Chain A
Amino acid sequence: MNLYSYILRRLLYVIPVLLGVCFLIFIIFNVVAPDPAYLLLGRHATIEQIATLHRELGIDRPFWEQYLAVVKTAFTFDFGYSWSSKQQIWEMIKAGAGPSLSITVPLFVITNTIAISIALLVSFYRGKFIDKAVLLISIAMMSISSLAYILFGQYFFAYKLGLFEISGYEPGFPHFIPYVILPIILYVAISWGPDTRFYRSVILDEVYQDYVRTARAKGVGELSIMFKHVLKNAMIPILTYVIIQIPFLILGLLLAEAFFSIPGLGGITIKAINTSDFPVIKAMTILSAVGFIIFGVITDVLYTVVDPRMRLK
Chain B
Amino acid sequence: MKMRNILLVMTMVITTLLTGCAKKQDASERVLNIVSPAEIKGFDPIMADDLYSGREIGKIYEGLLAYHWLKVPYELVPNLAEAMPEVSKDGITYTFKLRKGVVFQDDAAFPNGKGREVEASDFVYSIKRLADSKSQANGWWILDGKLKGLNEWRDKNEKLPVTNYAEEVEGLRAVDKYTLEFKLAKPFPQFLYALAMGFTSVVSKEVVEKYGKEFINHPVGTGPYILPKFDQGKRITYTKNPTFREKFYPSDASPELKGLLGDAGKRLPLVDKIVVHVMVESQPAWLKFNKGELDYYSIPKDNFASAIKNNTLAPDLSAKGINLIIAPQLDLTYTGFNFDNKLFHNVKLRRAMALAFDEAKSNELFYNNTSFSAQGPVPPGIAGNIKDYKNPYKGPNLEAAKKMLAEAGYPDGKGLPEILYDIPDSTTSRQSGEFFQKQMEQIGIKIKISASPWPEFQAKLKKRGGQMFGLAWGADYPDAENFLQLFYGPNSSPGSNSTNYNNPEFNKQFEAAVMMQDSPARTAAYEKLNKFLAEEVVVIFNMHRQAYTLQQGWLKNYHNSDLSHDSYQYLDLDTAKKEEMLKKF
Q: A86-B217, A155-B287 are in contact. Are A263 and B22 (CB under 8 A)?
A: no
B49 and A42 contact, CB distance less than 8 A: yes
CA A267 – CA B277 in complex, angstroms?
15
Residue in B39, B41, B232, B452 with the greatest tally of chain A CB atoms within 10 Å: B232
A44 and B49 contact, CB distance less than 8 A: yes
Segment with Cβ contacts to A, from B133-141, B398-406, B503-511, B555-563: B133-141
Check: A258 CB closer than 8 A to any chain B CB.
yes
Contacts of A263 in B (CB 8 A): 231-235
B293 and A43 contact, CB distance less than 8 A: no
A170 and B235 contact, CB distance less than 8 A: yes
Check: B216 CB closer than 8 A to any chain A CB.
yes
CA A58 – CA B215 in complex, angstroms?
22
One digit per residue, 1 when the CB lies within 8 angstroms of any chain A CB and 0 when it does not, for chain B 478-500 equals: 00000000000000001110000
One digit per residue, 1 when the CB lies within 8 angstroms of any chain A CB and 0 when it does not, for chain B 12-23 equals: 000000111111
A167 and B140 contact, CB distance less than 8 A: no
Check: A108 CB closer than 8 A to any chain B CB.
no
B459 and A35 contact, CB distance less than 8 A: yes
B41 and A168 contact, CB distance less than 8 A: no
A38 and B458 contact, CB distance less than 8 A: yes
Check: A36 CB closer than 8 A to any chain B CB.
yes
A47 and B455 contact, CB distance less than 8 A: no
Residue in A closest to B133 when the chains form the complex, CB atoms: A52
A261 and B278 contact, CB distance less than 8 A: yes
Distance of A81 from chain B, by nearest CB (Å): 6
Check: A45 CB closer than 8 A to any chain B CB.
yes
CA A178 – CA B285 in complex, angstroms?
17
CA A170 – CA B141 in complex, angstroms?
39
A49 and B136 contact, CB distance less than 8 A: yes
Chain A contacts with B in 207-243, Cβ cutoff 8 A:
none
Residue in A closest to B453 when the chains form the complex, CB atoms: A34
Contacts of A258 in B (CB 8 A): 280-281
Contacts of B50 in A (CB 8 A): 42
Check: A271 CB closer than 8 A to any chain B CB.
yes
B141 and A44 contact, CB distance less than 8 A: yes
Check: B462 CB closer than 8 A to any chain A CB.
yes
Contacts of B290 in A (CB 8 A): 159
Q: A85-B216, A159-B287, A259-B284 are in contact. Are A165 and B23 (CB under 8 A)?
A: yes
Check: B291 CB closer than 8 A to any chain A CB.
yes
Contacts of B278 in A (CB 8 A): 261
Distance of A60 from chain B, by nearest CB (Å): 14
Distance of A300 from chain B, by nearest CB (Å): 38
Check: B213 CB closer than 8 A to any chain A CB.
yes
Q: A85-B216, A86-B214, A166-B287 are in contact. Are A261 and B136 (CB under 8 A)?
A: no
B455 and A36 contact, CB distance less than 8 A: yes
Q: A43-B49, A84-B41, A87-B217 are in contact. Are A154 and B494 (CB under 8 A)?
A: no
Check: A39 CB closer than 8 A to any chain B CB.
yes
Residue in A40, A41, A44, A268 with the greatest tally of chain B CB atoms within 10 Å: A44
Contacts of B139 in A (CB 8 A): 44
A95 and B231 contact, CB distance less than 8 A: yes
Check: A30 CB closer than 8 A to any chain B CB.
no
Task: Please pick, from A50, A52, A163, A261, the residue contacting B284 in the complex, using a CB distance under 8 A.
Answer: A261
Chain A contacts with B in 32-70, Cβ cutoff 8 A:
34-47, 49-50, 52-53, 56
Residue in B closest to A46 when the chains form the complex, CB atoms: B494
CA A263 – CA B86 in complex, angstroms?
48
Q: A34-B453, A85-B216 are in contact. Are A164 and B22 (CB under 8 A)?
A: yes
Distance of B108 from chain A, by nearest CB (Å): 18
A39 and B454 contact, CB distance less than 8 A: yes
Check: B42 CB closer than 8 A to any chain A CB.
yes
Residue in A closest to B19 when the chains form the complex, CB atoms: A163
Residue in B closest to A163 when the chains form the complex, CB atoms: B18
B462 and A167 contact, CB distance less than 8 A: no
Contacts of B454 in A (CB 8 A): 34, 38-39
Contacts of B287 in A (CB 8 A): 154-155, 158-159, 166
A47 and B214 contact, CB distance less than 8 A: no
A87 and B214 contact, CB distance less than 8 A: yes
Check: A104 CB closer than 8 A to any chain B CB.
no
CA A293 – CA B8 in complex, angstroms?
47
Distance of B285 from chain A, by nearest CB (Å): 8
Contacts of B456 in A (CB 8 A): 34-35, 38
Distance of A105 from chain B, by nearest CB (Å): 18
B455 and A35 contact, CB distance less than 8 A: yes
A178 and B455 contact, CB distance less than 8 A: no
B462 and A261 contact, CB distance less than 8 A: no
Distance of A33 from chain B, by nearest CB (Å): 9
Distance of B40 from chain A, by nearest CB (Å): 9
Q: A38-B462, A44-B49, A46-B495 are in contact. Are A85 and B234 (CB under 8 A)?
A: no
Task: Please pick, from A37, A46, A158, A169, the residue contacting B234 in the complex, using a CB distance under 8 A.
Answer: A169
CA A181 – CA B232 in complex, angstroms?
23
Q: A40-B136, A95-B231, A164-B21 are in contact. Are A34 and B281 (CB under 8 A)?
A: no
Task: Please pick, from A34, A86, A162, A271, the residue contacting B39 in the complex, using a CB distance under 8 A.
Answer: A271
Task: Please pick, from B141, B217, B234, B462, the residue contacting A262 in the complex, using a CB distance under 8 A.
Answer: B234
Chain A contacts with B in 122-173, Cβ cutoff 8 A:
151, 154-155, 158-159, 162-171
Residue in B42, B288, B454 with the greatest tally of chain A CB atoms within 10 Å: B288
Residue in B closest to A92 when the chains form the complex, CB atoms: B232
Check: B279 CB closer than 8 A to any chain A CB.
yes
Check: B283 CB closer than 8 A to any chain A CB.
yes
Contacts of A39 in B (CB 8 A): 454-455
Distance of B153 from chain A, by nearest CB (Å): 15
A261 and B234 contact, CB distance less than 8 A: yes
Q: A52-B136, A56-B136, A260-B284 are in contact. Are A163 and B22 (CB under 8 A)?
A: yes
Distance of B244 from chain A, by nearest CB (Å): 27
Contacts of A86 in B (CB 8 A): 42, 213-217
Contacts of A164 in B (CB 8 A): 18, 21-22
Chain A contacts with B in 5-42, Cβ cutoff 8 A:
34-42
CA A43 – CA B458 in complex, angstroms?
8
Check: A276 CB closer than 8 A to any chain B CB.
yes
CA A85 – CA B293 in complex, angstroms?
28
Task: Please pick, from B42, B141, B293, B459, the residue contacting A38 in the complex, using a CB distance under 8 A.
Answer: B459
Residue in A34, A164, A170 with the greatest tally of chain B CB atoms within 10 Å: A34
CA A95 – CA B285 in complex, angstroms?
24
B216 and A166 contact, CB distance less than 8 A: no
Task: Please pick, from B23, B144, B234, B280, the residue contacting A178 in the complex, using a CB distance under 8 A.
Answer: B23
One digit per residue, 1 when the CB lies within 8 angstroms of any chain A CB and 0 when it does not, for chain B 449-467 equals: 0001111101100100000
CA A258 – CA B287 in complex, angstroms?
15
CA A307 – CA B458 in complex, angstroms?
59
B459 and A178 contact, CB distance less than 8 A: no
CA A168 – CA B496 in complex, angstroms?
38
A259 and B136 contact, CB distance less than 8 A: no
Contacts of B496 in A (CB 8 A): 43-44
Task: Please pick, from B138, B288, B452, the residue contacting A166 in the complex, using a CB distance under 8 A.
Answer: B288
Chain A contacts with B in 232-285, Cβ cutoff 8 A:
258-263, 267-268, 271, 276
Distance of B565 from chain A, by nearest CB (Å): 16
Distance of A58 from chain B, by nearest CB (Å): 14
Contacts of B23 in A (CB 8 A): 165, 178
Contacts of A162 in B (CB 8 A): 22, 291
CA A81 – CA B20 in complex, angstroms?
40
Residues on A facing B (Cβ under 8 Å): 34-47, 49-50, 52-53, 56, 81, 84-88, 92, 95, 151, 154-155, 158-159, 162-171, 177-178, 181-182, 258-263, 267-268, 271, 276
29 contacts between A and B (CB under 8 A): A34-B454, A35-B455, A35-B456, A37-B455, A38-B458, A41-B136, A42-B49, A43-B458, A44-B49, A44-B138, A44-B141, A45-B494, A46-B495, A49-B136, A85-B232, A86-B214, A154-B287, A158-B287, A163-B18, A164-B22, A165-B23, A166-B293, A167-B285, A168-B234, A181-B21, A261-B278, A261-B280, A267-B234, A271-B39
Closest 8 CB pairs of A and B: A34-B455, A44-B141, A42-B49, A38-B455, A42-B138, A167-B284, A261-B234, A263-B233
